[in-house]
Amino acid sequence: MKVLFVYYVPSGGVETLNRQRCRALRLAGIEAHCLYYAWGSGMQNAADFPIYVTRNDIEIKHILDSNGFDVIVVTTDHLSFQRFRMLGFKGKFVLEIQGYGPKSVAQAQLAQAAPYVNQYADALLNPNTPHIAALFQQLYPHKPQFNFNNCFDAQRFTYSPYPAPSSPVMAWLGRIEDNKNWREFLHIGHALKEDVPDMQMWMFEDPQLSQPAEREEFLALIHELELSDRLTLRPNVPNAEMPYYYSVIGDSGGFLCCTSKVEGAPYAVLEAMSCRCPVLTTNSDGVSTSVYHNVTGKFYVLGDVQHAVTEALELMKDQDLRKHIRSHAKNHVEHNFNPHIYAMNFVGMLQSIGM
């Protein structure tokens, strides 16, 4: 059995997901490849499976013809179904939605996709994201639908002890764009200065994925809030180096702060939890399978900076609660996002659609 995963660019959570699941599916005897339309920063991450980067029809046809894929799983890009059919692909199509950002965008995009989904898609897949699952039910009640957690290799990506910074680190990971809500992160950091005067702020980002106008606003707000002396930007850190950063953030007494308005199934949360780095996050829908308040992480109310500060201070100062969250979070990732479970669920999906 051979599967091709297709996405626009190898960056962010989808690139992480594809690396994780191409390895996981070997457990079920499935050979997986990836196709991206353009180069992205994720290409710096090591991979032991075939990756293609092209949007050229002749090159894509050669890839399809020479590999004989049984299934193509397309993340988001429903327009490609017709294209792949025209290029000679005769197998099954799965449309996967990892997230569109705002719920209004998800509603509009999935409604626009109707002609392509109804004609070509054999199944719909999402990682237990409540608003996406609800839209699938609403718009495509007659299409087979599959909702199961993404996979995460908590044995490979895990905590290690390192010398930690002498002051707590509040970290953030994402793109400098509105849905990731970087403004709120900066305001929370500014508000925490009074209670934690030595706190550092680290932001992990991909500068290539930010809009120039948004970046100007970002730099201006850093200056306005006088955060330059405590804020460190860390662009395009290879994924293999992130266990080090999450481990030292957790051991510093700090945390990962996720400020997103809406998320599908953010990998940064799973990565941090696996490395014993506690997470403070908005209840951005897709995190509902990974974060349980005061058990595997902490929630704060989106837009309420003072509430975020209150929860952050408890997370940093209540050592018993902190120990409880770090331990339970790691166990949760190991058991509920296990690659073996993902492989089993994926095979079940393929069997259900006649493979």
pLDDT in tens, 296-335: 999 999 999 999 999 999 999 999 999 999 999 999 999 9
Residue carrying structure tokens 């409880």: 324
Q: How far apart are CA 318 and CA 313, in angstroms?
A: 8
Q: Which domains does the chain possess?
A: 2-151+338-352 (3.40.50.2000), 169-336 (3.40.50.2000)
CA distance readout (Å), 222 to 62, 181, 201, 203, 227: 48, 14, 11, 12, 5
Q: What is the pLDDT of residue 348?
A: 98
Q: How far apart are CA 49 and CA 32, in angstroms?
A: 7
| Amino acid letter, residue 152 | F
CB 147 within 8 A of CB 96: no
Residue carrying structure tokens 């092209």: 54
| Amino acid letter, residue 155 | Q
This prediction has a pTM of: 0.90
Q: What is the pLDDT of residue 284?
A: 87
Cα Rg of the chain, angstroms: 21
Q: What is the pLDDT of residue 51?
A: 97
Q: What is the pLDDT of residue 11?
A: 85
Stretches where the chain sits below pLDDT 50 are none
Per cent of the chain over pLDDT 90 is: 90
Q: How far apart are CA 300 and CA 304, in angstroms?
A: 7
Q: What is the pLDDT of residue 211?
A: 82
CB 77 within 8 A of CB 36: no
